[in-house]
Structure 1
Amino acid sequence: MGALGHHLVTHIPASLSPNDTKLWEDIHPLIETEGLEAALLKHAPTASLEAAIVQSTGDFIAASEASIISEVFNKTRTLRLTNLIPHLLKPGTGIPIVTTNYDRLAELACEEAGLGVDTMFSGHFAARLEPEDSYWSFCRQVKLVGKNVRYKFAPKANVFKPHGSLDWYHREGNPVRYAGILPLPRLIITPGLNKFRSGYESPFDKHRERGNDAIDKASRFLIIGYGFNDDHLETHLTPRIKSGVKTVILTFALSPKAREIAIDNKNVIAADFREEAGTVGSRFIINGAELFYPGISYWDLDGFVKGVLSA
């Protein structure tokens, strides 16, 4: 988020209207001192300024995403999620993954691990938001067993993106998914006061609803790099954790809210990076107590897979 904020400060188009320019002059100093989300919460952008922020955000993340995808295809990088997937239970309905990231690395990681990916869009070039068509496209076999019909689906992940995706565009009043770059508005929700309003528009609403439904039905949570600062998910996720659902939180640095949840709920185990007296390792929160373990990196998904799941 810090790198994105710096990019916006230096790349927001100079062709803004006078009113947007004045508003941006109020916003951008706060990005450097208080962070992107805090700045946009203090000053809600106009529709035109928000469009400029969305465009610049998409350009920045797309460039970073393209670099990572190239490394994956050149076999110089394996995504951490790809290494995790073999260790996960794979229900016939699909592995639910809820991500607030705009990039498509979760989808790529799943496909690299041999899974299909259901994003509720149907079509290969100009895909439409058609959840039912997308769902049934993974059906591979139908059997009549007695009086019951049984369906067999290809192994897949259901990726829910309540904040949008780099390949979602607004086209003639409807969302369309296209893998390349189009001269159309991207459908991504930026932080700030307008986030909650935008979340109730298509296709964000469908992804938010399905993501929250997956959260409501989950018997376990593995939470990676999430700060518990999103209103679209918090009305479901935090109450479920507080109800006793077993939860593991892995991140580089626990946010204040994430740390509070880990301290207050004994069903939560959290790990983040810690350095003490020149020694690096992992800080754990277990049963509300903080513990430091030097020399291990279980806060990192790679370290967690190698040290815990592969042990």
Structure 2
Amino acid sequence: MDLHDLKLILQRHFSDGLVTVVGSGLSCAEGLPGMGALAAHLQSTIEVDLSADDKLIWSGLAPQISALGLEAALLATPPTPTLEAAIVAKTAELIARREREIVTEVFNKTRTLRFTKLLNHLLKQEAGIPVVTTNYDRLIEIAAEEAGLGVDTLFVGQFAGHLNEQESRLSFCREVTLRGKHVQYRYRPRVNVYKPHGSLDWYHRDGKPVSYAGDLPLPRLIITPGLNKFRNGYESPFDRHRERANSSIDRASRFLVLGYGFNDDHLETHLTPRIRGGIPTVLLTHTLSGNALKLAQGHDNVIAIQSGNASGKSGSSIIINKNELFVPDLALWDVDAFVSEVLEP
């Protein structure tokens, strides 16, 4: 298959019924810390404020994190609630700090986010563009507004915004017309962002989840890697976002998967079975995870693009129709290059 034919196939994928799934790889491409950087941050900062009991647990966890990685270590040795709270705080601290730096560049017009460029080429569905992300940061929301779109996160209000899906959706209504006995609503084009692992702007207030865009010296509602991730996903607002994410996945007619490793219990009960069932899927990532590689190698409805090298040249390694090919000199796995090379005329 030549590059021209490959581009035509990829272009045809961007049609109605597309659901985009975004993992940490896309945020890392923008400069946010990945698991390795987060583990290093925890190792160097968390112990100072821990109780004696939690310090003892952490002393056992630290070498496991170095050997196994952060999530595997936390699965092997579940943290206490107080240690988990400290991990959440330090995780949010690191991500929020780097997020501020990126947002400053976007605000000053010295940076355009990859997802902003991509949104210009996604079909503007009447019900909104569904995006499911396991990330805590707000780069998807910022990218959408920079693309001139609204953002529906199921919260309503700027200060301590409350969780109300219906009010949030209706806030984007721009016109109501009556045609015979039928009422028609016209909505502003928007991105529906579903975050089953939480968000940096989610807090608790009076026992209820609220959304506040600024930094508060309070615990944020995010689910960190480890054994408690699945349990915590059934508490508000995680449960509602998880339900809406899975509902979008169940209705999708095709998937675009960006920097996601297929390692999350909250989504895998819906996403992977649908892909295995034949839903056309395009994966873009720097390096395919083991689970992603199995999907690509075992299912001809999956096109997977990752970084690759051949004959001393860098480029893209592509799995299509369960066969592998190499495209030199083009980083098609990166959303930036993908948009410019495949989607732009």
Is the pair's TM-score, using the shorter chain for normalization, greater than 0.5? yes
Matched, 1:247 2:271: no
2:163 to 129, 139, 143: 129
The aligned counterpart of 2:148 is 114
Deviations 1:87-136 (CA, angstroms, capped at 9, x unpaired): 11111110000000000000000000000000000101110111111111
Report if aligned partners of 1:13, 1:52 keep a CA contact under 8 Å in 2.
no
The residue aligned with 1:50 is 84
Residue 142 of structure 2 aligns to a residue whose secondary structure is helix
Aligned to 2:240: 206
4+ residue runs of structure 1 moved beyond 6 angstroms? none
* One-letter amino acid matched to 2:83: L
1:190-240: CA deviations, max 9, x gaps? 011000000000000000000000001111100000000000000000011
2:207 aligned partner, one-letter code: G
In the TM superposition, what are the counterparts of 1:139-178 in structure 2 within 5 Å? Answer: 139-178=173-212
Paired with 2:62 and 2:142, the residues of 1 have a C-alpha distance of 33
Deviates more, 1:288-297 or 1:112-121: 288-297
Give the TM-score taking structure 2 as reference length.
0.89
TM-score (ref. length: structure 1):
0.98
Aligned counterpart for 1:15 among listed residues 49, 58, 62? 49
Long gaps (5+) in structure 2 = 1-34
1:33 to partner: Cα distance: 2.3
* The 10-residue stretch of structure 1 (261-270 or 271-280) with the greater mean CA deviation from structure 2: 271-280
Instruction: Give the whole-Å Cα distance in 2 for the aligned partners of 1:186 and 1:90.
Output: 32
Q: CA offsets per residue over residues 272-294 of structure 1, 9 Å max, x none?
A: 01123431100001111121111
In structure 1, list runs of 5 or more residues that go unmatched. Answer: none
The residue identity in structure 2 corresponding to 1:261 is: L
Determine helix, strand or coil for the equivalent of 1:87.
Answer: coil
Kindly, what percent of the aligned residue pairs are identical?
Answer: 61
Cα distance, 1:16 vs. partner? 1.3
- Verify the 8 A CA contact 1:37 1:191 in the aligned structure 2: yes
Q: Which moved more, 1:57-66 or 1:176-185?
A: 176-185
What CA distance in whole angstroms lies between the structure 1 residues aligned with 2:318 and 2:212?
A: 41
Structure 2 SS opposite 1:12? helix
Residue in 2 that maps onto 1:266: 300
- Aligned residues: CA RMSD: 0.9
1:65 aligned partner: 99
Structure with the bigger RCO (C-alpha within 8 Å, sep 6+) is 2
TM-superposed CA distance for 1:13, in Å, is: 4.0
What is the CA–CA distance in structure 2 between the aligned matches of 1:196 and 1:227, rounded to whole Å?
Answer: 17
Higher mean Cα deviation, 10-19 or 185-194? Answer: 10-19
